[in-house]
Amino acid sequence: MTPAGSNRRSASRGTGEPALPQELSYSEAHTALELALAQLQSSDLAVEAMAELYQRARGYAERCEQVLQQIEHTVELWDPEQPDTAPTRFEP
């Protein structure tokens, strides 16, 4: 895992603010989520910092879910028993 500050898109971009979750790839959002969860488990955070970190973690989790849903909609099924049949879209 890479620290959030070393990731080009999760860097602060000169504003001091982390990148918005919707700007991150799945991998970047997942890493940021893991880092946020590790920080939340730390007992030395102020309550206010925990609340802010919790909101950011929710944003990262929602971004991961969004990317997975986008991928799910593009997954195609192929029936190896009918190789001449075109793949169909996956419908959960």
**pLDDT score at 17:** 56
Burial (CB count within 10 angstroms: exposed 0-12, middle 13-18, buried 19+), residue 36: buried
pLDDT score at 54: 95
- What per-residue confidence (pLDDT) applies to 3? 44
**Burial degree of 25 (CB within 10 A; 0-12, 13-18, 19+):** middle
| Interatomic CA distance for residues 67 and 43, integer angstroms | 31
Beta bridge partners of 77: 88
pLDDT, tens digit only, all 92 positions of the chain: 444 444 444 434 444 456 788 899 999 999 999 999 999 998 788 999 999 999 999 999 999 999 998 887 777 776 778 778 877 776 66
Q: Taking the model in full, what pTM does it have?
A: 0.65
